[in-house]
Amino acid sequence: MVFLGPSELAVAAAMMLAGSTVLSTVGFGIGMTSTPVLLLVLEPQTVVVMINTVSLALFVLIMFQARRHLPAREMIPVSVAGLLGVPVGVFILSSASTGVLRVSITAVIILLAIGVASNLRGPISRSRLMGPPVGFVVGVLLAATGIGGPLMALLLLARDWPRHAVRASLSLYFLLVEGAAVIGYGLTGMFTPERVSLILIVTIPVLLGFGFGTVLVRRMN
């Protein structure tokens, strides 16, 4: 990866500001929001590593905000299944070509966008038996593409949990799964000096986005 110029850095910072605002507001969506534009200026592997790494601080902050509303017992099986999917996703990200990753990430964005827009929630999604399978699939998607949150959000929204319970549950799941993915990225040598520098640069707009999201969530039903 060649280190980015000022214009590329500005785009990356702006997209991470937008994505972190969305995530801090509804508990997911940083990848769906920022990735389409980021792929125009960054290689896919860099986008995924950056998003999953900088998101960890946001999940910790959201967990602290909504910790009293966390249905931990219900989320433990889902989170464990997600952790099992992480090695598969890390392997895909570390071994797939740039072209394959770019096409795959774009396809995931389109499919999940259709699912969210169609509000795909059926009676089967309310079953607790669906939690672990969905958790595993999302774990693979997050580690490999940085995207998958909408699928997990649809599962939790189908259970009619309060908004703070949904935000806290999503944050717990993402913190565990993406934290494990970041460890995998480190073990497979994906943290190059250029990527580490980029992550440090976009941390400031990410934290600003958390502040904006905290204000917005208070005004939403």
Nearest residue to 215 (alpha-carbon basis) of 68, 21, 69: 21
User: Per-residue pLDDT tens for 125-143?
Assistant: 555 678 889 999 999 999 9
Nearest residue to 178 (alpha-carbon basis) of 144, 203, 211: 144
User: Per-residue pLDDT tens for 141-173?
Assistant: 999 999 988 888 888 877 777 777 888 888 899
Q: Which amino acid is at 117?
A: A
Higher pLDDT, 158 or 104: 104
Give residues with Cβ within 8 angstroms of 36, minimum separation 6: 106, 109
Encoding tokens for residue 87?
């090695």
19-23, 47-51, 67-71, 214-218, range with greatest mean pLDDT? 47-51
Nearest residue to 192 (alpha-carbon basis) of 33, 7, 53: 53
pLDDT at 4 over 90: no
Per cent of the chain over pLDDT 70 is 92
* Per-residue confidence band for 8, with pLDDT thresholds at 50, 70 and 90: confident
Give me the pLDDT at residue 119, please. Answer: 62
Quote the CA–CA distance of 82 and 142 in Å, as a whole number.
Answer: 9
pLDDT at 3 over 70: no
Higher pLDDT, 10 or 221: 10
Give me the pLDDT at residue 71, please. Answer: 81
Give me the pLDDT at residue 27, please. Answer: 79
Backbone angles phi, psi at 211, to 5 degrees: -65, -45
* Per-residue confidence band for 122, with pLDDT thresholds at 50, 70 and 90: low
Q: For the whole model, what pTM was predicted?
A: 0.88
Encoding tokens for residue 101?
């990753």
Give me the pLDDT at residue 128, please. Answer: 66
- Average pLDDT over every residue of 22-50: 90
* Per-residue confidence band for 123, with pLDDT thresholds at 50, 70 and 90: very low
